[in-house]
Amino acid sequence: NSRDPTSLRTPIVAVLGHVDHGKTSLLDKIRGSAVIEGEAGAITQHIGATAVPLDIISTIAGDLVDPDDFDLPGLLFIDTPGHHSFTTLRSRGGALADIAILVVDVNDGFQPQTLEALDILKRSQTPFIVAANKIDTVPGWNVNEDMPINATYDAQSDRVSSRLDESLYKIIGNLSDEGFSADLYWRVQNFQRNVGVVPVSAMTGEGVPDLLAVMMGLSQRYMKEEMEIDVTGPGVGTVLEVKEEKGFGKTVDIVLYDGTIRADDTVVVGGQNDPIVTEVRALLQPRPLAEIRTESRFEKVDEVGAAAGIKVAAPDLGDAMAGAPVRVVRNRSLDEVVHEVRAEL
Ligand code: GTP
Ligand code: MG
């Protein structure tokens, strides 16, 4: 644990899954737990993302996460919609992510967008775990709020726990049908070869400590080399959405995965025809405590560093494209940066 944590980037975690399986509820639960711990300000709401620092993860996960074991700064979660019409948002989220959580309702099991999300993760070779959500809906479930899964398992009757096991093994079977060798997460030795399944309830918080512990372990173990980047260099990101914003005209919501972006930077953004060269007019973050589902009120910031979700207001963004690259120019030659962006389009 000797590395300087400020030189490590926050891993980007995409939350994917079928409509209504509980992706947003899971992030709401994590945010809510921090509020209860009196740490509401520590979790920051980004454009399309939620940043959870390591000390909060450790507070929520209790004994399962010792902050001294990790030198990553935390996790940046990207929520994605499960409705079938949002395929492009899902694939963008999946492609951007370092790691992912595939949320599956234990009762509903695999559904069309579960399979679609799996395909995205396969194609982008993103390591992931499965959150088998809504375990509290198993008939007869005895709720143990916010407890790790082994503690709450022990508190269930044999009939209830074998009913849950049945649903979990069905999910493991479905994963196997799709070519993934999977098992309950506590039986997985190598998370690169096997997919861990974590039973959780976004409603009661049961299993959420385990989920956070597994995500931290996965990022620390397998992603760290990629995180060791120059976090102070010129920013690099991807456009999530192009949006009209009152008072700002066309803006781009981006996820920055490398370096920094400043309110006076020149940036190159991928466009429908050609790369767009423009000057940042404002960097906009949701105000603290803004609702996760709405992001209508913004606050101007001078600079943000990776990983972060941020809205960029700038002239000439009319032709900007969702999914396109964004690069900060700063001390580099403009031609070179334009060339890089064009090569990625
Ligand atoms: P989309 O964004 O539309 O794809 O849905 P989502 O995956 O974000 O689902 P969301 O979090 O909105 O939850 C859908 C419904 O399931 C809501 O009514 C939640 O209250 C409920 N729900 C989510 N997680 C749980 C859970 O663990 N237990 C129970 N009982 N209900 C849950
Ligand atoms: Mg949602």
d(CA 45, CA 298): 11
d(CA 250, CA 195): 41
The best mutation among 19, 20, 198 to test binding of ligand 1, ranked by most ligand atoms within 8 Å of the C-beta, falls on 20
How far is ligand 2, taken at its centre, from the CA of residue 318, in Å? 28
Q: Which ligand is nearest to the CA of 113?
A: 1
Residue 19 alpha carbon, nearest atom of ligand 1? 4
Both tokens of residue 179?
């070519």
Q: Largest Cα–Cα distance of the chain, in whole Å?
A: 67
Q: Which residues are annotated as a binding site for GTP?
A: 17-24, 79-83, 133-136
Q: Which residues are annotated as a binding site?
A: 17-24, 79-83, 133-136
> Residue 324's pLDDT is what?
92
d(CA 301, CA 261): 10
d(CA 178, CA 167): 17
Ligand 1 proximal residues by C-beta, below 6 Å: 17, 19-25, 81-83, 133-134, 136-137, 201-203
Nearest in space to 49 (alpha carbons), one of 316, 323, 286: 286
Provide the residue-wise pLDDT of the chain in tens; the chain has 345 residues: 344 445 678 899 999 999 999 999 999 999 887 666 666 666 777 777 888 999 899 999 999 999 898 888 899 999 988 888 778 878 888 888 999 999 999 999 999 999 999 999 999 889 999 999 999 999 999 999 999 999 999 999 999 999 999 999 999 999 999 999 999 999 999 888 899 999 999 999 999 999 999 999 888 877 656 666 667 899 999 998 899 998 899 999 999 998 999 999 999 999 998 999 999 999 998 776 544 455 457 889 999 999 999 999 999 999 999 889 999 999 999 999 999 999 988
Nearest in space to 3 (alpha carbons), one of 98, 77, 69: 69
Three-state DSSP class for residue 219: helix
How far is ligand 1, taken at its centre, from the CA of residue 68, in Å? 33
Handedness of CA 53, 56, 61, 66 (dihedral sign): positive
Residue 25 alpha carbon, nearest atom of ligand 1? 11
Q: Which ligand is nearest to the CA of 90?
A: 1
How long a stretch of residues is the chain? Answer: 345
- Return the percent helix, strand and coil in the chain, to nearest 5: 35, 30, 35
How far is ligand 1, taken at its centre, from the CA of residue 150, in Å? 23
How far is ligand 2, taken at its centre, from the CA of residue 60, in Å? 22
d(CA 267, CA 41): 30
CA distances from 290 to 26, 302, 318 (A): 17, 19, 27
d(CA 283, CA 264): 9
Closest CA to ligand 1's atom 24: 22
CA distances from 78 to 186, 254, 301 (A): 25, 11, 20
CB atoms within 10 A of CB 172: 19
232 CA to centre of own chain: 22
Closest CA to ligand 1's atom 23: 22
Question: Left, alpha or beta for 332 (phi > 0: left; psi -120 to 50: alpha)?
Answer: beta
How far is ligand 1, taken at its centre, from the CA of residue 4, in Å? 38
Closest CA to ligand 1's atom 2: 81
Residue 80 alpha carbon, nearest atom of ligand 1? 2
Q: Which ligand is nearest to the CA of 136?
A: 1
Could you identify the residue written with the tokens 């999300």? 117
Kind plus residue range of the DSSP H or E element containing 249: strand 249-258
How far is ligand 1, taken at its centre, from the CA of residue 340, in Å? 41
pTM of the predicted structure, to 2 decimals: 0.90
Specify burial of residue 269 (Cβ count, 10 A radius: 0-12, 13-18, 19+).
Answer: buried
Closest CA to ligand 1's atom 15: 20
